[in-house]
Structure 1
């Protein structure tokens, strides 16, 4: 009797799934090599879903990194635990860093699955496509069908936007493409495993200020301002901002309220992200760096100030001529905030309770972190099986 037959005879498949759903992904990927039966079981959709339910609270973060080593630009991503990264950033990033062969842009992360965007620029057009990648299993899909847009498009600040989310009703992972034309936004969707992009709907035109949307509670969200006038400039522009929200399940667009923030000086364009399952807004205003979080999605009154510090206290190592731009990398359960600096390889752990900076480290002169995403270690496949 084969080993697979012996396993199935001793333990029912349902019990094996219950056991395997509690095993780390790294070990499960090794188990796949033991037999065809085990390989089939580990990639079974039922086990993938059950394992995702079990691991959903064990959140890592995915750092997107640019590496300038040897006068070459290399785009990288590193999946790190919330415990190991603040303790030893250098070794943690080096050990977990995955260097891409293409200039991939991370569009978003959902249930441990990462959406990567790539492009090719022709003389008068640009082709765009996406791939799906699971950093825990190291499995990657083939390229999606391609989109073609004009290459001489100068719409500010981005002629188009992407977003990545999950429709729990149809159990599909979807990439949303916004083509921001002069009088309307055309919304197209590509579902994992499909052979085309679907045109969904048209919305009123806006100036959208973020390339990638933030996925939370079944919606993908971008910062935007009205298209008329110079709404994205000037002293009071932050009060003109909207959150353009696309409902993945119902294929509808909506608008969310911004927090009621003071307008002092000329703030930088805010950054929208998701941490601990909540929509977060961060921006620099004068010498202050502020972070707000929406504790209950869609409820305007739930916007809560989380961080308000003088970024000069971070003592960021600034190369000549570079702006100082703090970046939120993760938020712990007790609301401590791990910060990075866009353009430098530094980490700062802000202790909210004691109102102090606990850690400062320059981890690699050749690297710097761009953005960060909450990311669980899952078995979710980047292709349809």
Structure 2
């Protein structure tokens, strides 16, 4: 097989599903090197862009630290156990920060300067080098209220981890960036040049869509004399390629809402009512034009209480929308305007398991580990 042209093998591998390719890594070192090539991972994801998403459950085991992964073939669900052991630390408690292109980003709960990437399909973990300021609380600039996001710069085929914080001196949002590049010199933390809007308080995890990260934001209570005061809901954006902040108004004021990646577009989910969900999608980014694309009527399950948790997870099989509601899962079919209940084995509605609509990636984090070592 080593005499077989590598370019032909590369083209064949582009047409195969990820599960098959991960098995074929065992054929020979020659095949493994081709399958682990980051270029194959990037091109493979583009070719399979229309592939259906599965549901990924990020579990919180309390005892044995390990990296485990299993697949439930019956319902299109994947489950990963994220109590991880690395040579840097044992993560018995972590905080899920976001995901992008099949990779999951999280931090250690007791020290958010420790940032990790996780590829569930490969069961690989990558620990990033800490930012120097994070180990010295009195250093300049002072950091507080840090938020993280993971995005992909398609112009350079690189992943960027963005850490956003508020400068205590002038209440301006600032950012630090870790570029996961193709050389050790590019894989390090650095400060972003651009500054963000003043007096913004970011809420929740960011959504990566259309080349940018987005956070929900409202004005802080002491901003009534500031000219940049935010009225109602706003969205703070960070362009991954340009590394610039921006500010977007939501289509209306929401009592309860969250952001969503809907087929690659930014969406706002209105959860103000426990009987109906509205999903607004940003269609024209230049003109900031919002369109109400979905209205989902809800019927509360037996035993549901008021103010129950409502969360739209995303698009999954056959274009249906997955909804987490009152400890249950609903699948909404836009074609029929119908809802059906889903059962996920091993899932308890009382736990804090993270649920994602996830499309796996072939990208090997071990390649980047070599850069950081």
| TM-score, with length taken from structure 1 | 0.75
Identify which of 134, 138, 163 aligns with 1:177. 163
- 1:302-356 CA-to-partner distances (Å, cap 9, x unmatched) read 42241243x4x1326447xx840111122258763221137x3x21122334433
1:254 and 2:240 are equivalent in the alignment:
no
- Match runs of 1:293-332 below 5 Å: 293-309=281-297, 311=298, 313-315=299-301, 317-318=303-304, 323-332=307-316
User: Secondary structure of the equivalent of 2:251?
Assistant: coil
User: Secondary structure of the equivalent of 2:289?
Assistant: helix
Aligned to 2:26: 33
- Match runs of 1:262-281 below 5 Å: 267-268=255-256, 270-281=257-268
- Match runs of 1:108-119 below 5 Å: 108-119=98-109
Deviation at 1:76, TM superposition (A): 9.5
5+ long unaligned stretches in structure 2 = 85-90, 139-143
Are the structure 2 counterparts of residues 254 and 39 from structure 1 closer, same or farther at C-alpha, using a change threshold of 3 Å? same
- 1:220-242 CA-to-partner distances (Å, cap 9, x unmatched) read 111112235489xxxxx996111
Give the stretch that moved more between structures: 197-206 or 355-364. 355-364
Alignment RMSD: 3.5
- Match runs of 1:46-195 below 5 Å: 46-61=39-54, 63-67=56-60, 88=75, 92-93=77-78, 96-101=79-84, 102=91, 103-120=93-110, 126-146=111-131, 147-148=134-135, 159-182=145-168, 183-192=171-180
Q: For 2:262 and 2:330, locate their aligned partners in 1 and report how far apart those are by CA, in whole Å.
A: 17
Q: For 1:284 and 1:149, locate their aligned partners in 2 and report how far apart those are by CA, in whole Å.
A: 40
User: Secondary structure of the equivalent of 2:195?
Assistant: strand
Aligned to 1:379: 362
Question: Do the aligned partners of 1:63 and 1:79 also contact (CA within 8 Å) in 2?
Answer: no
1:338 and 2:328 are equivalent in the alignment:
no
User: Secondary structure of the equivalent of 2:173?
Assistant: strand
Are the structure 2 counterparts of residues 88 and 16 from structure 1 closer, same or farther at C-alpha, using a change threshold of 3 Å? closer
1:283 and 2:270 are equivalent in the alignment:
yes
- 1:255-298 CA-to-partner distances (Å, cap 9, x unmatched) read 1231146x7xxx22x11121211212113224443322223445
Q: For 1:375 and 1:275, locate their aligned partners in 2 and report how far apart those are by CA, in whole Å.
A: 12
Q: Which runs of 4+ in 1 moved over 6 A?
A: 72-81
User: Secondary structure of the equivalent of 1:240?
Assistant: coil
| TM-score, with length taken from structure 2 | 0.78
Identify which of 179, 190, 211 aligns with 1:198. 190
Are the structure 2 counterparts of residues 316 and 220 from structure 1 closer, same or farther at C-alpha, using a change threshold of 3 Å? farther
Instruction: Give the structure with the larger helix fraction.
Output: 1
Question: Do the aligned partners of 1:281 and 1:292 also contact (CA within 8 Å) in 2?
Answer: yes
